[in-house]
A and B are shown apart, each in its own frame.
Chain A
Amino acid sequence: MKKSPFNEDRSAVWLAFIFIALALCLPLGMGNLLGWVLGVKVWTDPLNALAPLGKSFSNIPGWVSLAATLGFISLLLLWERRRYPEDKKSFLTALLIVLALTMLGWVLGHAGIIAAVPNEREKLGLTWSMGLTGEAGYLAALFIGLVIGNFFTPFAKFLSMAARTEWFIKTAIVLVGAGVGLKALEQANLAGTVFFRGLAAIVEAYLIYWALVYLMARKVFGFSREWAAPLASGISICGVSAAIATGASIRARPVVPIMVSSLVVVFSVVELLVLPFLAHSIIPGEPMVAAAWMGLAVKTDGAAIASGAITEALYMAQGGFQKGWMLMTTTTVKIFIDLFIGVWCFILACVWVYGIDRKPGDKVSLKEVWDRFPKFVLGYFFAFALFVTLGICFPEKTNALKESAGNLDAFRKFFFALAFFSIGLSADFKRLWQEGLGKLILVYVVCLFGFVIWIGLGISWLFFHGILPPTGVNP
């Protein structure tokens, strides 16, 4: 029998839906089948870093949860590769090493000294930290991959059979859909004032920032489409997820969005450390403008929410406002932006298939469009729709759905980390980084400080000025 080539796109959708099906057993009353998944916390004592996510599994030691998570993922991936002709024993060995080293990077990236944001330092007993948020785990995984790729080349070659970057990326993106679906439901109940103004954020991020950054990258800096699109998404939408999803939608080589994402994570620290204080000094009487600005300008979820918390602390010290309103505004603006990643990827995939990849005079049949269309984008939408529908039809199950989405999010983050490790493993990343770093940083700095944060401030001012959070003690 002829073996068909391994289709990472389709396999990623299947894999993600196996995770989703298991997660949904919780709201269906069949038990928390994924509650044992490992949750990594920002730590100062490594013994406290690992714990299962599910409350009902809190009596299980962290190392058991770790072993269960790695074992489960390796079995699933091995099962997916069952029809692919390769030495299964070698594949499993390589896969286990890839999983273990990625997890090591993920955990190291959560070390308090690296990940703790300023408002977490006191709780962790730290006087200083780099403030990279838990997303530093991606950089740590990338770094470990780079070390192996550059100094242990034969070992890297052995591991590369299991380091399937696109497979990991696409699986993670489908899982993003589930979490985003649930976030959409939660936002639907928000105060109308914030909700309406949050819509402005979507328009700004996707229709104005993206277009301007793309134009700059293409016309001023001469980047090709493959680089310009993930760069535009990374700078204008939501860092890691957006850059990676965009790259996959336009069929860019995986190393491209991973490089962009690494830059986004590093730059979000600069934004986190500068913008809340800048806002407080230039618009001291406008706490909601400042909060919305953080959601629009800071480019990773973790850093944006931390910026919102710092902004809230700065303004509360002066105004006696009720706690939570500014942070809610930052979070809402950020989540509103995240919600449309899938729609934007769908639009980009269509533009690329119909308008750019098609040769002049070619007629593209529907079948061809279907063949070329990235299936994981559809998987993302299906996961999104599934969680929204379940949330609407069974409002009493919202808490169980939230817990399911939390479990899926743990897998999503780990699959992204696997993609970073796999890219680091390929020796070209280091040279590529050296060649392209200067130019990428230049585009990032020019766009971010040239117009992204200032347009963000202008639009936040337009839609939020004059609105103040309630004062007094929280009810």
Chain B
Amino acid sequence: MISLPHLASLPVTPGQLTGLLAILTIVLMNISRGRVWYHLPSWEHAFGLVGLSLLVDGQYLGLVDAPREAMMGETGRIMYVHVPSAWLTMVVFLFTCIFAVAFLLTGKRVFDLLVESTTEVGIVLSILLQATGMLFAKPTWGVYWDWDPRLVSTTVMMLSFMGVLSLRAALDDADRRATWTSVGAILATTSMGVTYMSVRWWRSIHQMQSSPDTVAKPMVLILRINAFAFLFLSVWLIARRWRIADAQARMDEAPPLPPEVTV
């Protein structure tokens, strides 16, 4: 598709180069501020760096090294973004449900904050899923959108989780907000099951789920690299989003400042 050198012929892969440059930048930034050890970035940045490196490699492989898909030609390369984003949307929303159940059982604030974080990151992934799906659909089906069971159920799933965040934003009381967010997230997760099964339950123009047995080996490897890239990046984004939620919760719980004393 594009005339770049193949990954196997390069001394370092684009992803390794990106990772090395990122590590070097972080170390130089720390040294320039006179702080080398104790202020190195948080643990989650390691996930971000690995995710970024894998994403650069995965997307390079998808664009350059991947074989042409037999029926979809060059358009098949969209698969390396679309399919991993679908997998990770499901995984992240599944964790939203697990954290919601954990909150309702234990009442621990950490699970409530994780519900908030995973819901938001899941929505971002589902937007990517929808957008790449539409860009995949146009050249293969001839339309960007169709009222197809898989497309509609995916949209309903995304809107359901958006509704959970809207509900969360609308409630002032912290305890009620946490409880109703978890209940909403569990209800929204049912739409995920419908989305997954939609291609089996109804006549759909969307293909059924693939497995490594039905996909060519070179394609499976590239799909896995991109899936792990999205997985590591998702962990990083969730951790960063959790820090914001945690800081906000601590601010909400802080006692009010004493009234100013005037003499």
- Tell me whether A and B are bound partners: no
Q: Point out residues on A near B: beta carbons under 8 Å.
A: none
